[in-house]
Amino acid sequence: MEKEAKKNIRDLNTAELTTFFTSIGEKPFRAKQVDEWLWQKGARSFDEMTNLSSDLRTKLEEYFTIHAVQVAEKQISNDRTIKNAFELYDKNITEGVLIPSTTRMTACISSQVGCSLSCKFCATGRLKRLRNIDADEIFDQVVHIKQQAEEHYNTPLTNIVYMGMGEPLLNYKNVLESIERITSPKGLGMSPKRITVSTAGIAKAIVKLGDDEVKFNLALSLHAANDQKRDQIMPINEQNNLAILAESLKYFYSKTGTRVTYEYIIFKDFNDEIQDAKELAEFCKHVPCKINIIEYNPIDDGEFQQADTAKVDAFAAYLESRNLVVNIRRSRGKDIDAACGQLANKNEAVRHKELK
């Protein structure tokens, strides 16, 4: 019972920590020391807090716990991509990926265990949503991946994308709190302009991002600029259709001045024709934007296939002829199921088999 009563110390802000230390007869500056250990130095146990007395560390252990995230399994791809199975304090598993390129080191992190949106092309969408991931657990994913970038490639982490498992805007509070910690000088000190939050399209939450005047980047998983096609692959479009999304994006841009990124996974014989490109170009008129055309990564028993290279190139060329900024994103980490849309906790499946 006593263990259950312990609070996760990272749920406390500095003022609450100060109150705690004062209540046990300690100096208020102890709160700042503990904060530094937790958010700047990455301490995941009280024993690591070496500028505190052993008695004080014992007292912290008595009252608090740290919901530290562990790397349960790590796989390295032929292209240097690293996929992690992260074990959370309650034994749930989520995944995060380090994506190295010539110009950047990107952490792709998860916001939920599983997902509730059931997008047809995504392996994560076939899992149930078990729970939201807490802000400190999201923070830990970044810390682990940052360390891997430095240890494996001797390069600092440059970018963070909330594009792993789950829908970030359905975990709004924890996602924004995690970004606050990541960008704070008292945390990792990263620029919010290096962070992108990707959504399948929760219009009300996009409006809220505008109201909160967020400084990070927003990406919309679009994949079709035609309601009939988008309905087929993304059930969320039925309540958040393109007209509703366009209004929310206009509002977001008016409040933040931040250009939106459209993610467009291109599927063979589904959304790869010039007509599809024309519809996308029309949708791009709503707000300043750029487009990432993403190579599709087939999933087990998936009904979609990768579009032909010639079709992809023609699609991009048409958009560029309309003076749109286009990037074609080739798959990374395919051989270890770490590519876009492939995160499905296969590690967890193995784990459950072993437990049985």
The catalytic site residues sit at 95, 340
- Please state the separation of Cα 78 from the chain's center in Å: 23
Residue 317 to residue 331: CA distance in whole angstroms: 20
Question: What b/e sequence results for 293-317 when a residue is b if at least 16 CB atoms lie within 10 Å of its CB, and e otherwise?
Answer: bbbbbbbeebebebbeeeebeebbe
Residues in the chain: 356
Inter-residue contact 291 to 325 (CB < 8 Å) = yes
Inter-residue contact 267 to 307 (CB < 8 Å) = yes
The first and second tokens of residue 231, run together, are 């309905």
Q: What amino acid is encoded at 285 in this protein?
A: K
Q: Read out DSSP for 12-38?
A: S-HHHHHHHHHHTT--THHHHHHHHHH
Q: Read out DSSP for 225-279?
A: SSHHHHHHH-GGGGTS-HHHHHHHHHHHHHHH-PPEEEEEEEBTTTS-SHHHHHH
Inter-residue contact 323 to 293 (CB < 8 Å) = no
Other beta carbons less than 10 A from residue 54's beta carbon? 10
